[in-house]
Chain A
Amino acid sequence: DAGVIQSPRHEVTEMGQEVTLRCKPISGHDYLFWYRQTMMRGLELLIYFNNNVPIDDSGMPEDRFSAKMPNASFSTLKIQPSEPRDSAVYFCASSWATTNYGYTFGSGTRLTVV
């Protein structure tokens, strides 16, 4: 299995632009998670899905952020409009029916908003 695949690896965009981050989870995994990592705030859970349904989006910082999972093999995290304070590394992770087996993380997308 290729693991959790995220794209792009790096994204540089101007303030006000729309940014879309993509994630392909491991086939057969029921859970998908989006995290944001910064030096100041560490690792923050933004949202997670179970069987493509959003379960908890309380970590989404504001209405500029949205996430979708149209099918079991694809998810997007969109920021519109982007701001410099959104600069961070965004990770996607997936797991089996219970997270007691552990997550598998993607390599992340490093977003820089200038």
Chain B
Amino acid sequence: GDSVTQMEGPVTLSEEAFLTINCTYTATGYPSLFWYVQYPGEGLQLLLKATKADDKGSNKGFEATYRKETTSFHLEKGSVQVSDSAVYFCALSDGNQFYFGTGTSLTVIP
């Protein structure tokens, strides 16, 4: 069945460092791909999405490109801030439901 695998955490970075969180997927059809972010004590919020191959989703300085050839959707940010500290979830949708990764905790230190 469909599934998502994302890199284990936790990840700790210094402010202004480059961030990559790896995500790969397995799907039988043509899924849409998402990154969600969860700040402490809150629900998950949609960060960005891509609905077809080669699409790039972007928001708040974060980017991810839908790579069909490598079945990947890695999250990147060029310069992280303390306020980016959160848990990041990769997910795919087959049109009926989502399949979430296990989440990667990111802590950014000043």
Contact = CB atoms under 8 A, between A and B. Distances in A.
Interface residues of A, number: 22
Interface in B37-72: 42-46, 49, 51
Interface string A101-113: 1111111100000
B46 A108 contact: no
A105 B93 contact: no
Interface of A: 4, 33, 42-43, 45, 48, 50, 55-56, 91, 93, 98-108
B10 interface: no
Given A99-B93, A100-B51, A103-B98, 19 more contacts: A42-B103, A48-B97, A50-B96, A55-B96, A91-B43, A93-B44, A98-B93, A98-B95, A98-B96, A99-B95, A99-B98, A100-B93, A101-B32, A102-B49, A102-B93, A103-B46, A105-B44, A107-B42, A108-B43
Q: State the main secondary structure of chain B at its contact with A.
A: strand
Contacts of B96: 50, 55, 98-99
Contact of B89 (A43, A56, A104, A106): A43
B5 interface: no
Contact of A106 (B36, B43, B49, B97): B43
B10 to A, nearest CB: 12
A55 B96 CA distance: 10
Q: How large is the interface on B (under 10, 10 to 19, 20 to 34, 35 or more residues)?
A: 20 to 34
Contacts of B100: 42-43
Interface in B92-108: 93-98, 100, 102-103
